[in-house]
Amino acid sequence: MLEALMGSPGEWALFLDIDGTLLNLAPTPDSIVVPPELPGHLAQLHRKLGGAMALVTGRSLDYADRLFRPHVFPLAGLHGAEFRDAAGVSVVAETDAFQGLKHLLVKEAEAYPGVLIEDKGAAVAAHYRLAPDYEKVLEERMLHYAALAGPEWTLQPGKMVFELRPARASKGDAVRRFLQAEPFKDRRPVAIGDDLTDEAMFAVANDFSGLSVRVGAIDAPSHARHRLSSPALVRNVLKAMAAQARSLP
């Protein structure tokens, strides 16, 4: 992967998930740690690829931006429901119709000690990493809230989390959208992620003769054709790529 991207950077576009891919998973959503050198490495790769690098995440656009300040990258947030293109033009998801349901969920979660509710604006996630015994009951309750939310939202399972997100959004669609415009257009995508939500962008990368890379253990069938064992290894690869980018003309 390193040799392919740095050997001919004008042929490739890089798409990176954040949690569990760039950053180690943490007990709570707000306790993740951004290594201080990582934003700079991403900025170097972004420049070397002529701007054809984007973050594709379940986090909101605003939250993801705070992680990598002062750098600002093309970004698909909330699995693509929020979107900022390479020109800096942003589309933010509508949240008004979702507020009442999120309030009900927050109140009910008080009965499940250790369950954390993350308000993402147009999406809401129920994390049970600190309360794994609630997995089944939480799944049942989130299915209930998905039914209340209606067809505009869908329930997305993940690593120790159930998330209600806009149904129209997927990471695969976000990657396709990036690939329709410069500087991503006519490039081969490299998609790196760790979770079920990343499978859609793996499939798109494969469709465009790119590279699909799953991070961590693969305990179910995956579209990914390559593997990196951990976020730490992903960061080491990106660090090496950034160093090579500095040394190349």
- Whether 173 and 88 map to the same domain: the answer is yes
Give me the catalytic one of 17, 19, 195, 198: 17
- Whether 145 and 231 map to the same domain: the answer is no
Taking the CB of residue 146, how many other CB atoms lie within 10 A of it? 19
pTM for the model stands at 0.89
- Domain of 157: which CATH number? 3.30.70.1020
Contact yes or no for 99/123 (Cβ under 8 A): no
- Whether 85 and 174 map to the same domain: the answer is yes
Range of the domain at 76: 2-92+169-247
Last residue of a domain, one of 142, 166, 190: 166
Q: Is 17 labeled as catalytic in the residue annotation?
A: yes
Q: What does the pLDDT look like over 76-133, one tens digit per residue?
A: 999 998 999 999 998 876 666 678 888 999 999 999 999 999 998 888 999 999 999 9
- Whether 80 and 113 map to the same domain: the answer is no
- Whether 179 and 242 map to the same domain: the answer is yes
- Whether 78 and 125 map to the same domain: the answer is no
Q: How many domains does the chain have?
A: 2
Q: Strand order in 12-16's β-sheet?
A: 90-91, 82-84, 75-77, 53-56, 12-16, 188-193, 211-215, 226-228
- Whether 82 and 102 map to the same domain: the answer is no
- Whether 39 and 105 map to the same domain: the answer is no
Mean pLDDT across the chain: 92
Pairing outcome for strands 90-91 and 82-84: antiparallel
Query: Token pair 């993740």 is at which residue?
Result: 32
For a pLDDT cut of 90, what percent of the chain falls above it? 73
